[in-house]
Structure 1
Amino acid sequence: MISVLQPELIAQSAPLKTHKYFRVAVPQALTGQTLVAFLQELMAFDDLADALHLATLLLQHGYIFPVIEHSLLVKDDNTLYRLQLPYFWPSHATHTDNVEYAIYLSKRLMRNEQKHGLEEDEVEAYNKLLELLGHMWDFITVQAEMQLKIQKEKKKSDKVVYDSEERAFWRTRRPGQANCLEQHIQKREKKLRKRTAAVYRTELERLKFTLKTKPWLKAVKASETMVSWCEQFHDYDPFISTPQPSNPWISDDTNLWVLNTDSVEVPTERRVKRWGLSIQELVRDPIGRQVLETFLESEFSSENIRFWMAIQDLKFSTNEQVERKAQRIYEEFLSSGAPCQ
């Protein structure tokens, strides 16, 4: 896709030509409408919006740039755009440093201030670089003068085009700015590895295991279990069902909190019904756990619930308490001759 953006190749379908903008000649440019139509034809897009989106991505990544209006969105109208010089493509210009940027800013300062003057952020960057690279500023100045001398030998139209290409490049790739690519494309290419026979064998074994265990059936069963669980707890979710007797945050009636405290003598009917959903719901409620303890005492097996409660307390203890509580559990429940063995 990017190779098609070579100026000599794109000229066949979307020729670059000189346009007039308020009596000013703009060489080697094309309109947004022409660019979008070219991309739609090239990629065989059915929807014009897809071509417009692709053009915007190319602009944001630095492969094309606007000539007059500095915007990050491509417009499907007569707005003028230029194709970036392949030398300045992000896939070619892999790294930019402070020295190159300092040479570019110095070169701008040596030219006509009205046409090539620095913007506020560029002035700030220039001052910082001058302080940072002061020990090699003579070298930077000499390099800027040499590049400026070579550029003066070009034709006027070529100088205008090159100036815009260079400025567009440094606008998006200057040091210290976020790169438009989260991970550079060349770094991605280095990680590509040729798939070996061992890789295919491992994938084949994994697929065979999948066919054997049939995880899609387990997923269906899990979804059914989840739906059943949600239906069971529908009446106990205050976001779905209206609390009884009323929501204290809306009605200022605190009876709901009073009836559901851990120290209430008679639990509500809804609370007792919830104990029947699972053993976890029963032991999670302090009153339910107390009822279970009373029942187990009558069956002479209360040590079971006491052992479970001690283990739960151990699981959520601090590190300094673990050894002491584990020793107490061992002495009370697990050691030879323990009182609750």
Structure 2
Amino acid sequence: MFYHDLYLLLGHVHTTPNRYRLQIQEMQRVEWPTEEMGSQPCKVQPWGAHTAPRGVDAPYIWLIRAVFLYKMAEGSREQAAPGSTDSEEDSPNMIVYRKIEDIVTRIQDEKAGGVSIRTVKSFLSKIPSVVSGADIVQWLMKNLNIEDPAEAIHLGSLIAANGYIFPISDHVLTLKDDGTLYRFQSPYFWPSNCWEPENTDYAIYLCKRTMQNKARLELADYEAENLARLQRAFARKWEFIFMQAEAQVKIDRKKDKAERKILDSQERAFWDVHRPVPGCVNTTEMDIRKCRREKNPHRVKKSVYGVPDDGQSQPSPVHVSSQPARKPTREDVQKEISFLNIQLDRHCMKVSKVADSLMSYTEQFMEYDPLASVVEPSNPWISDDATFWDMDACKDPNQQRVKKWGFSLEEALKDPAGRDMFLKFLESEFSSENPGKIFWLAVQDLKRRPLQEVASRAQEIWQEFLAEGAPSSINLDSHSYERTSHNLKDPGRYSYEDAQEHIFKLMKSDSYARFLRSNIYQDLLLARKKPPADPEQGRRTSLEKFTRSVGKSLTGKRLTGLMQSS
């Protein structure tokens, strides 16, 4: 906007009379400041109406200042980015912008089934080129195969947040499924044009709005605060900013009223994207990781398995070394062979198997997930039902807890009731793995001990389970025993990690399978599955028995009396 208007001003220079062209030539001989105004004291002070150079008329001071600002801006841009190209593909978000622009283009194409853009008549005024939010949501659901209205509203809000559509009466860029009126942004202001507006441009825009006495152009509270802050920051060159705002206002007044309304709203939406309302997300900010990838696109990419993934493409000529590549030595080949052998030993799973494992795990724990299914009893923090607390305080586990012990040994040992039941089973069998179970619990307790008690407790566990003549010795392989003894030179919470893992594998392969088949677990599981007996049914059965016995006795007495009478 700033440079566009300067081009318009420069167009007036070539149409001025000859005497003003001579004045501009005189202006070129003036000692111009080379630094940006305000950064350092300049040799030539900023001009006012009474401080113009000799031979320059005061009425055209604003034009000369505009040319001066344009020259300074062009010089600063060339110094900031020497040799840089204005490529549209520099932005990491360009792929997203292209997809959004394709959707917006389809929405605006009325011939291909797009949304109809109309002029809405209100009291004593007309609102040109608008659509309703409900029309946009319906189009998104119909043409993008979206079934949920919330998803369509979310997609429309993302499009609005990037500035492609905007409400005509609100600074917050979001989409609503109602009669709120929206307008499409001009392609000139699209983010794909790689806009990077400076604070000077923002100050000119705010200053221009203060000059126009219209209710729709009044500054919001946060904009007024930004204007005051910018005025303090650019105090030394505020006269130039004010002059540029005046020039833009004069150009805008020559435009048609309807066109001016549309352009004002589009410019406001542009700044709502690049200088958003406090509390809104700035969608123009670049992800630092994307920016680093853009600055170094030829960086070698690492694969999942640790092997450099150079791909099939050839490296850039800029990064090709001028020195010839040396032949690999014998040591290099041996290192590569050993590295490839290590990669062959890696445990790799297919994606299909991983997906099947995740699906089976999800289905197995479905009834225990309150987000996936309705868990009984209900959560006492959500409802007023305290049944969950009563069941948790009960010593006897419910059916869900008992059933969960059969999923894995980890689930059985995670539950205190499951640990006690598993230990009870090992004691009933006089199993040799009973000390291993006690050792596993002791190591778990060691991990939760205070740091000052860890060293002494680690030595106690060694003397009880692993030392020579230990009262509760456990069976360990030589590798785990050596690693554990080496770790005890500097005892810590995880000194027995290898030994604990070995004991866990032994219990999982032998004792846990027998525990699931034992009468202790099966009786407990079946007892929880049986429905409780109905006490009313028991009473009815007893009453029926009593009635039947009384009836039999009365029948017997009647038969005896009849026989005696006969």
TM range, normalised to the smaller chain?
Answer: 0.5 to 0.7
For 2:311, give the aligned amino acid. V
Match for residue 415 of structure 2? 234
Shift in Å, 1:112? 0.6
Shift in Å, 1:89? 2.0
Shift in Å, 1:39? 2.7
Counterparts of 1:313-332 in structure 2, within 5 Å, are: none
1:275 to 433, 438, 443: 438
Shift in Å, 1:187? 5.1
Indicate yes or no: 2:227 matched with 1:111. Answer: no
Aligned length: 276
1:199 to 301, 308, 311: 311
RMSD of aligned Cα (Å): 4.8
Is the Cα contact below 8 Å between 2:172 and 2:277 reproduced in 1? no
Indicate yes or no: 2:246 matched with 1:145. Answer: yes
Indicate yes or no: 2:488 matched with 1:309. Answer: yes
Distance (Å, rounded) in 1 between the aligned partners of 2:486 and 2:241:
78
For 1:293, give the aligned amino acid. Q
Is the Cα contact below 8 Å between 1:52 and 1:74 reproduced in 2? yes
Structure 1 102/292 Cα, relative in aligned 2: closer, same or farther at 3 Å? Answer: closer
Indicate yes or no: 2:291 matched with 1:179. Answer: no
Counterparts of 1:1-341 in structure 2, within 5 Å, are: 1-6=100-105, 9-12=108-111, 13-69=114-170, 71-112=172-213, 114-174=215-275, 179-181=282-284, 183=286, 190=294, 198-199=310-311, 213-215=347-349, 227-235=408-416, 275-277=438-440, 280-281=443-444, 289-290=459-460, 292-293=462-463, 296=467, 298=469, 308-312=487-491
Is the Cα contact below 8 Å between 2:157 and 2:175 reproduced in 1? yes
Shift in Å, 1:280? 3.9
Distance (Å, rounded) in 1 between the aligned partners of 2:354 and 2:210:
70
Secondary structure of 2:115's counterpart equals coil
Distance (Å, rounded) in 2 between the aligned partners of 1:277 and 1:38:
62
Shift in Å, 1:313? 5.8
Distance (Å, rounded) in 2 between the aligned partners of 1:26 and 1:120:
25
Shift in Å, 1:46? 4.3
Is the Cα contact below 8 Å between 2:231 and 2:238 reproduced in 1? yes
Structure 1 55/188 Cα, relative in aligned 2: closer, same or farther at 3 Å? Answer: farther
For 1:309, give the aligned amino acid. L
Is the Cα contact below 8 Å between 1:283 and 1:289 reproduced in 2? no
Judge which range, 164-173 or 175-184, deviates more.
175-184
Secondary structure of 1:121's counterpart equals helix
Q: TM-score, normalised by structure 1?
A: 0.63
Runs (5+) with no aligned partner, structure 1: 242-270, 317-341
Secondary structure of 1:290's counterpart equals helix
Distance (Å, rounded) in 2 between the aligned partners of 1:298 and 1:104:
88
Is the Cα contact below 8 Å between 1:16 and 1:30 reproduced in 2? yes
Distance (Å, rounded) in 2 between the aligned partners of 1:151 and 1:188:
41
Match for residue 82 of structure 2? none
Q: TM-score, normalised by structure 2?
A: 0.40
Shift in Å, 1:139? 1.9
Is the Cα contact below 8 Å between 2:200 and 2:241 reproduced in 1? yes
Runs (5+) with no aligned partner, structure 2: 1-99, 302-308, 314-339, 362-406, 421-433, 450-455, 471-481, 496-566
Is the Cα contact below 8 Å between 1:103 and 1:143 reproduced in 2? yes
Secondary structure of 1:91's counterpart equals helix
Secondary structure of 2:440's counterpart equals coil
Distance (Å, rounded) in 2 between the aligned partners of 1:136 and 1:229:
72
For 1:183, give the aligned amino acid. M
